[in-house]
Chains A and B, each alone.
Chain A
Amino acid sequence: MRPKTPVAAWVSGVVILLSAVGARPGVAQESHIGTLTGHAAAGKKVYRRYCILCHGADGDGTGENAMWIDPKPRDFTLAVFKCRSTPTGTLPTDQDLFDAMTRGFVTTNMPQWLPLTHQNRADAVAYIKTFSPKWKTLKPGTPITIPPEPVATIESILRGRGLFQKMECWKCHGPAGHGDGPSAATLTDNKDRPIPPYNFSTGSRFKCGVTNQDLYRVFMTGLDGTPMPSFADDIKPAEGWDLVHFLRTMQPLNTPEAAIWKTWLASHAQELKPIGPPGTGQ
């Protein structure tokens, strides 16, 4: 007669082993993107295949490759994210995370994960949320309301230019948006790593999306974790579009705003006061 296998011992041993290797018991985290529901358990497999090498087994941005790449991978344990539709200091929506993963981050090592199925991406979002306890205790913020974009006019651009001066954007981004403002060289992110401000003269795509709406969100929600603050308390929603229209004129792209600006500049350039510290003609 064979002795009975101590099943209970095996099962508890396996559970202990799984806990030791990082399985989180009770990982019932879900994500909701449109009609899609993602599950963290399935997302763990997606994470292992695609994400772990940079973002790390604990999701803290210290994967094997992290030391060789710049900018560094996102640390999910802090639950602080740059590209959100929600106000500063609040969690992003699941859709925000899904979109960030799908879009990737240009000029960084974070690729566009568009070829993964929607379900895979939703599952990965659910798994990412297991890395920080904040997702259990806090609700995502309410996405900000963005009014419809008015047509770009020279008046709007000039008002936007006034905002660029008044809100002192030039202190980091520079008077011409070249990323060379007086404070640019000393900027650090929330981990005290040096980080450059966006240089509009490159015309490169924004990390959080390429449309005017995406640009609006950048300064109305702030890029959490970076020196870029939220101006939602200081810029009225309609004024935000003025700033968007002006910012577009600083990029070497064929935008309607750039065309309007060029035409106006040809005859009115001498009317402009330079952007910069007070006393330089302001």
Chain B
Amino acid sequence: MVRGFLRGAGSVQGSWLVSGVVTGACLIGALAVSGGGSKAYTAYSLAVHKTKAIPAFARKYGLACSACHTAWPELNAFGQRFRDNGYQLMNDRDSPIWQNPSYIPVTFRITPNWHRESATKQPVDAVPGNPATTGPGTLTVSGFDLSGMDLWTAGTLYKNISFVLLPSSDNTGAFHFEAAFVRFDNLWNSHWINFKVGKFELDNLVSEKRFLFLSGNGGAYQAYHFGPVTDTLGFTNFGRGENSYTRYGIAVLSNTDGAVGLPASQSYDTYLTFSHAIDAGALGVERLGAYAYIGRRPTYFQTSGGAPIPGTGLGNKSFYQVGVAGDFFFGDLELLPLFLHANDNAYLATSTAGNVALPAGARDAKWNAAFLEAHYYINPQLVFTGRYETVRMSQQADPALPSDLGNIDAYSGGVRWYPIMFSRAGLSWHTEVSAVRTRGSAFAATDGVWTSSVFSGLDFDF
């Protein structure tokens, strides 16, 4: 059911539902994570916080945030290796028996902020209270707000056995588990064999959890939100070379996009990823990778008294996404490009049950997505960011729809300033603007709907 909702980008229901879905990009993430949850999130609240910066590690090992992060939460090559080692420095002092017993591997992160959200071509009554006067209008709301909160614990249960537990709340304090897994690291003394079981973010080269954007319209990758390329439940085997320059991963995942409670069917998805980095001397480390996600989703369920029974999904139809991504440094300038091609089976794209005929003319939905993100690090405590993203439908599921319905162009830019940078806690003053244009409104499939955010907040963790 979640899957079907997500496929709305190419669906026949070209109503305000489409714009509602595409404007709140992180809205979709929140829904995926909460398992098609019952809360009515709006595009105007930053529902889910993404975090992967953990001062607890800094406290444990006595390193500054800047040692592992280009600008937290994004990891640099050293931090990547620390993470790949299972949050271990491999200095023979990683086992928890060496820790001071008063050390608690817990970090909290939240961002109190002020933000302004705006959307054009929204259905607004010209005369308040009179439903006969609904027409396109621009809505703007602003004010002080909270982000969600992450309560992250991670570390070692024992040498080479690591864990993560990440209860995460939205800005009202309603919790879910963003990540929870156990890792067996460096099996048979080899960096190439590690095993992780639980709920985790897929090992994308460009991570959405550890990136530098927080606003309503900029705080998620468009490319990742028409596909399950973030939180997943399952197990993965992965490995890397001595210094994490070469990395690969193979994952087998439930087909629920990380939703718990076995809501879907018993088919499994596969994820494969590979990347390689080179030492480019004074320029830095240059990384290039590719990934593929191949999955199946049910299109209808067994019913009891007419109501669908969760977990009994039938009529599985397949989809895939393949992409290439890079992380390139030119001294203090970092570029992160990504290109993705995706294909949804016609049944999924038109939300048709597998045991009935497809609508006439229905086809597979295909689209391409790309983004180019740039960071400029003035110094370890000041970074400027910018990103352009695009999603282009290359084949609509319903041939009657305009070919560019659902196309997206997204622009984001911001600055993060870290007034303190040491090993106990972190603080960043984060300011960002973002704007997304989507093709297709509640009123006309050819309308361009603009949603934009202005955000400024104090992002802190300890």
Touch test A–B (CB under 8 Å): yes
Report which A residues bind B (CB closer than 8 A). 42, 45, 48-50, 52-54, 64-65, 68-69, 104-120, 123, 204-205
Contact A116 B62 (CB under 8 A): no
Assuming the contacts A49-B66, A49-B67, A65-B62, asked whether A116 and B92 have C-beta atoms less than 8 A apart, the reply is no
Of the candidates B63, B76, B242, B380, the one whose C-beta lies within 8 Å of that of A111 is B63
Chain B residues, CB < 8 A from A117: 77, 279-285
In chain B, positions 57-94 with a C-beta closer than 8 Å to chain A are 61-64, 66-67, 76-78, 80-82, 89-93
The docked-state distance in angstroms from the alpha carbon of A48 to that of B63 is 12
Tell me whether B81 and A65 are in contact (CB under 8 A): no
Of B62, B92, B283, B285, the residue contacting A54 (CB under 8 A) is B62
A50 near B67 (CB under 8 angstroms)?
Answer: yes
Q: Check if B80 sits within 8 Å of A115, measured CB to CB.
A: yes
Chain B: CB-nearest residue to A66:
B62
Residues of chain A contacted by B78 (CB below 8 angstroms): 50, 111, 113, 115-116
Say if the beta carbon of B316 comes within 8 Å of chain A.
no
In the complex the two chains form, is A116's CB within 8 Å of B77's CB?
Answer: yes
Known contacts A64-B422, A117-B280, A119-B282; A53/B63 CB under 8 A: yes
Mask: chain B, 263-298; 1 = CB below 8 Å from A; 0 = not = 000000000000000011111110000000000000
Asked whether A53 lies within 8 Å of B62 as measured between CB atoms, the reply is yes
Asked if B62 contacts A114 (CB within 8 A), the reply is no
Residues of B near A113 (CB, < 8 A) are 78
Question: Are A115 and B81 in contact, with the CB atoms below 8 A?
Answer: yes
| With A48-B66, A109-B91 already in contact, 18 other A-B pairs whose C-beta atoms are closer than 8 Å | A42-B282, A48-B379, A48-B380, A49-B67, A49-B380, A50-B64, A53-B63, A53-B64, A53-B422, A64-B423, A69-B62, A107-B92, A108-B93, A109-B61, A111-B82, A115-B244, A118-B281, A119-B279
Most buried by B among A104, A105, A109, A115: A115
The 7 A-B pairs at the shortest CB distance, nearest first, are namely A115-B77, A119-B281, A53-B64, A65-B62, A117-B279, A49-B66, A115-B78
* CB closest chain-B residue, reference A111: B89
**In the complex, chain B residues whose CB is within 8 Å of the CB of A42:** 282
A36 → chain B closest CB, angstroms = 8
Interface check B243, CB cutoff 8 A: yes
| Chain A residue, CB-CB nearest to B380 | A49
Which residues of A lie under 8 Å from residue B422 when comparing CB positions?
53, 64-65
Please report the C-alpha to C-alpha distance between residue A50 and residue B90 in the assembled complex, in whole angstroms: 17
Q: Which of chain B's residues has its CB closest to A107's CB?
A: B92
Would A112 and B90 count as touching, CB distance under 8 A? Answer: yes
Q: Which residue of B lies closest to A112 (CB)?
A: B90
In the complex, what distance in Å separates the CA atom of A69 from the CA atom of B280? Answer: 33
Known: A48-B380, A50-B66, A204-B92. A111 touches B281 (CB 8 A): no
Could you list 17 A-B pairs, sorted by A, with CB under 8 Å? A53-B64, A64-B423, A65-B62, A65-B63, A69-B62, A105-B91, A106-B93, A108-B91, A108-B93, A109-B62, A111-B91, A112-B91, A115-B81, A117-B283, A117-B285, A119-B279, A119-B282
Contact status B91-A114, CB under 8 Å:
no
Name which residue of chain A comes closest to B286, CB basis.
A117
Q: Please report whether the interface of chain B is mostly helix, strand, loop or mixed according to DSSP.
A: loop
Residues facing A in B30-80 (CB within 8 A) are 61-64, 66-67, 76-78, 80
B419 to chain A: closest CB distance in Å? 15
**CB neighbours of B90 from chain A (8 A):** 112
Instruction: Give every chain A residue within 8 A of B281 (Cβ-Cβ).
Output: 117-119
CA distance A107 to B285 in the complex (A): 28
Q: A118 and B67 in contact (CB under 8 A), knowing A107-B92, A111-B91? A: no
Complex Cα distance, B64 from A52, in Å, reads: 9
Cβ of A104: which chain B residues have Cβ within 8 Å of it? 89, 91
Chain A residues with CB under 8 Å of B89's CB are 104, 111-112
Chain B residues with Cβ below 8 Å from A116 are 77-78
The chain B residue with its CB closest to the CB of A114 is B243
- The residue among A45, A110, A117 with the most chain B CB atoms within 10 A of its own CB is A117
CB neighbours of A115 from chain B (8 A):
76-78, 80-81, 243-245, 285
A114 touches B423 (CB 8 A): no
Q: How far is the CA of A52 from the CA of B280 in the complex (A)?
A: 24
> In whole Å, how far is B446's beta carbon from the nearest beta carbon of chain A?
50
C-alpha spacing A104/B76, complex, angstroms = 18
Contact with A along B216-253 (1 / 0, CB 8 A): 00000000000000000000000000111100000000
Chain B: minimal CB distance from A117 (Å): 5
B67: A residues at CB distance < 8 A: 49-50, 53, 111
- Give the CA-CA distance A42 to B284 in the complex, in Å: 12
Complex Cα–Cα for A248 and B379 (A): 47
Nearest chain A CB to B438's CB is how many angstroms away? 39
For residues 380 through 428 of chain B, which have their beta carbon under 8 Å from a beta carbon of chain A?
A: 380, 422-423
CB distance from B84 to the nearest CB of A (A): 10
- Closest approach, in angstroms, between the C-beta of B11 and any C-beta of chain A? 45
- Residue in A closest to B77 when the chains form the complex, CB atoms: A115
Residue of B nearest to A48 (CB): B380
Q: A117-B279, A118-B279, A204-B92 are in contact. Are A111 and B61 (CB under 8 A)?
A: yes
A107 partner, pick from B82, B91, B245, beta carbons under 8 A = B91
Q: Which residues of A contact B379 (CB under 8 A)?
A: 45, 48
B91-A68 in contact (CB<8A): no
Expressed in whole angstroms, the Cα–Cα distance for A209 and B78 within the complex equals: 20
| Chain B residues near A64 (CB-CB < 8 A) | 422-423
Whole-angstrom distance between the Cβ of A71 and the nearest chain B Cβ: 11
With the chains together, A108 CA to B94 CA distance in Å? 11
